[in-house]
Amino acid sequence: MVNSLRFGLWAIGIASAIILPLIVALGFRAAFQNHVEQATVAELEADLRFMTRGLKLEDGAVILVPKVLPDPRFEEPLSGVYWQIVDDKTKTIVRSGSLVTFTLALPDDVLPLNTVHRHVVKGPEGVDLLLLERRIPEGVEGKHSWRFAVAIDRSLLKGQVDAMMLDTSPVFFLLGLSLLIVTFIQGGMLMGPLRQASRALALVRAGRKERLSDIVPKELATFARDFDALLDAGERQVREARQRAADLAHSLRTPMAVLLARADEIDAAGQAGAAATIRDVVTGLEHRATRDLALANIHGPNLGRLVEISLAPVIHQIASALGRTSGRENLTWDIQVAPEHKVRLDQSDLTELVGSLLDNARKWAKSRILIATVSDHASLRILIEDDGPGIEPHQRRLALSRGQKLDAALSGTGLGLSIAQEIVLAYGGSLDLSDGLLGGLRVALELPQTNLG
């Protein structure tokens, strides 16, 4: 089964446009056929009554003087309409000219006097005839009677019905076409709220709206409320998980400080090897706790919480702050970021991302840091490079995955590149390390663009 509401609507519409006109046509044909048959029977009964007027009383006896019926087809050979009179006493048969020499075989049944019977009999050339017959007595006792019969070829009736159906076929075609048009209109009316809901969901996903229930049609209000409740529940779970991770990371700091102090005591007691082992273990735990705490603070692309943020002001602000705190007056910040370049990131995630990368570049740069952006319809690339020593290719994977410090003389945890990569991946982007044009490391970020119609 195709999981498509539009396909289902069109399938039902097409089926209705075919089946309903067909049912109406069949019903109309049956009704018209019955009407034609009833009208024909009425005409044949009138012909029977006219024919019985041929019985005349002369010299005290009833004689038959056949009446000529007004329909000229009764005299046209094999025209399809016939009459016949049989004298029950003498077995004399009088027939219409249309019968030529053919004799209608009347059913051998009990025919009450003055009662009209209807039969289907075989006529000339084996055709089916609709036949009406009536028995007229000579007197009250009815010892002498005549059987009057009149018939019509049933194919003539069918021809009338077929002609009417052919004439009315455009009506049934227009009926089917009208049903298709109605289905198209109803489908548009039904799909309209769904399209509106889809656009509303895109707005929420892009961060232009916070909740779905404020912007969907009222027909989808219940769905929107349930969806918003799901968003709220998800956000609560994320906040609680981050809080638990932060609490755990902070709770480890005091025991680690105690262990470091104990290592100093052991080192002073002359057990340098044991002290070094303790310091290595504590350092590893500290790096892990710092990393987990940083990851817990990544908000990620939460629905309804992202807004468009211009990159240039954020980069200028962070570069200016780092320039003041570094104490290096000879460091040049070359910022080539177009004012129209924007990203859809959480504000704190963007600050952490740019801050980590620029701080890493500041630590390694000799005199210049270049920040540039390149945008197309699908993605935005942020390029950050410095004129420092760079990172050897075999060490780049280690710098991203382990967060280890490549130079122990520099301050920091060595987690900047690793955390930056986690943030970029959370938003469906990528981070790549390569050799820059300035001679140092180039960090290339690629973030997907979100376009709304």
Question: Which of 136, 159, 182 corresponds to the end of one domain?
Answer: 159
In the structure, what pLDDT confidence band is assigned to residue 410 with cuts at 50, 70 and 90? very low
CATH label of the domain that carries residue 100: 3.30.450
Residue 230 lies in a domain: no
E-strand ranges in 237-319 read: 307-310
Average pLDDT over residues 341-364: 86
Greater confidence (78 vs 3) lies with: 78
CA-to-CA dists, residue 89 to 83, 144, 165, angstroms: 19, 6, 47
CATH label of the domain that carries residue 404: 3.30.565.10
pLDDT computed for residue 60 by the predictor: 55
- Residue 192 pLDDT > 80: no
CB of 123 within 8 A of CB of 153?
yes
98-137 tens-digit pLDDT: 999 899 988 887 777 778 899 999 999 899 999 999 888 8
Greater confidence (328 vs 255) lies with: 255
Q: Is the pTM of this model over 0.75?
A: no
- Residue 306 pLDDT > 70: no
Question: Which of 159, 176, 208 corresponds to the end of one domain?
Answer: 159
Greater confidence (380 vs 267) lies with: 380
Query: How many domains does the chain fold into?
Result: 2
Nearest CA among 151, 156, 150 for reference residue 129: 151
Report, in this order, helix, strand and coil percent for the chain, each rounded to 5: 55, 20, 30
Residue 199 lies in a domain: no
Average pLDDT over residues 359-378: 87
pLDDT computed for residue 453 by the predictor: 39
Residue 62 lies in a domain: yes
pLDDT computed for residue 61 by the predictor: 62
CB of 380 within 8 A of CB of 340?
no
Average pLDDT over residues 31-53: 92
The DSSP element (H or E) to which 250 belongs, if any, is helix 221-268
Average pLDDT taken over every residue of the chain: 81
Query: What percentage of the chain exceeds 70 in pLDDT?
Result: 83
Question: Which of 159, 180, 197 corresponds to the end of one domain?
Answer: 159
Indicate the burial class of 311 (C-beta count within 10 angstroms; 0-12, 13-18, 19 or more): buried
pLDDT computed for residue 73 by the predictor: 92
pLDDT computed for residue 149 by the predictor: 92
Average pLDDT over residues 237-262: 73
pLDDT computed for residue 399 by the predictor: 77
Residue 406 lies in a domain: yes
Residue 95 lies in a domain: yes
Average pLDDT over residues 156-164: 93
Greater confidence (194 vs 341) lies with: 341
**DSSP secondary-structure letter at 141?**
S
CB of 252 within 8 A of CB of 261?
no
Residue 198 lies in a domain: no
212-225 tens-digit pLDDT: 776 777 767 787 78
| Domain span at 428 | 308-453
Query: What percentage of the chain exceeds 90 in pLDDT?
Result: 22
Residue 411 lies in a domain: yes
Nearest CA among 364, 29, 30 for reference residue 172: 29
CA-to-CA dists, residue 322 to 299, 328, 355, 364, 365, angstroms: 24, 10, 9, 13, 13
Region of residue 443 (left: phi > 0; alpha: psi -120 to 50; beta: else): beta
| β-pair partners for 372 | 336, 383
pLDDT computed for residue 151 by the predictor: 94
Place of tokens 């009425």: 42
Instruction: Report the alpha-carbon distance of residue 52 to residue 64 in Å, rounded.
Output: 9
CB of 104 within 8 A of CB of 127?
no
Residue 131 lies in a domain: yes
pLDDT computed for residue 1 by the predictor: 46
Nearest CA among 312, 307, 301, 413 for reference residue 354: 312
pLDDT computed for residue 372 by the predictor: 92
CB of 426 within 8 A of CB of 238?
no
Instruction: Report the alpha-carbon distance of residue 289 to residue 14 in Å, rounded.
Output: 64
Residue type, 201: L
- Residue 86 pLDDT > 60: yes
